[in-house]
Amino acid sequence: MRKHHLVKHLALTTGRGTDVLNRYTVIELRKMFDNPYELSYDECRNINVALRSGGASYRPLTGELNTEFGYMVAVEGFGKIIPRVWASEDLRLVLNQWLKEISYTGDSRYFIGIWEHENQYHLDLSQRCIDLEAAIIAGKQRNQLAIYDCKNKKDISTK
């Protein structure tokens, strides 16, 4: 069911209105879901350092951490709240368990979003939209209360 849910979200229209699902064959989609991605200790150490400023958006495979442009929009149905962990190794174990649960395979169109609120971590699978209007529309469609403005480092309400 989760795999079908993620395939449905591959059809997200980007800021230019392009249907990304048409770019993938059935074989490519199967490869995306058949090999779960695991974060390394170094990746989690970098995420843990970024969390000290309140949150992190990390794109596996490219290594992009806390991008400076665009707007992050969470993919509905993949969020999770966990107790805060302090050590990078504990964070790695928790994040890798979540990535297995959602059948994440390292698709570079998605970011792993994590931020702290009231001594808990909120995990999300997110996509970056370049266009603000497209991001707000996607946020509304995905029942998100807000999207995240990467440049100004603030939430923008979708209401």
DSSP state, 13? B
Read off the pLDDT of residues 99-116 as tens digits, 9 standing for 90 and up: 888 888 778 889 999 988
Name the pTM for this structure.
0.72
Pairwise CA distance, residues 151 & 89, whole Å:
29
φ, ψ at 37 (rounded to 5°): -85, 140
Confirm if 114 and 123 have CB atoms less than 8 A apart.
yes
List strand residue ranges (DSSP E) for 4-95, in order: 55-59, 64-65, 71-74, 80-83
Pairwise CA distance, residues 144 & 113, whole Å:
14
Among the listed ranges 104-113, 114-123, 125-134, which one has the minimum average pLDDT value? 104-113
Alpha-carbon 50 to chain mean position: 15
Confirm if 123 and 80 have CB atoms less than 8 A apart.
yes
Domains identified in the chain, total number: 1
Taking residues 11-15, what's their average pLDDT? 41
Tokens read off for 93: 């174990």
Taking residues 23-40, what's their average pLDDT? 60
| Residue 18 in this model has a pLDDT that exceeds 70 | no
- The residue segments making up the domain with residue 138 are 2-157
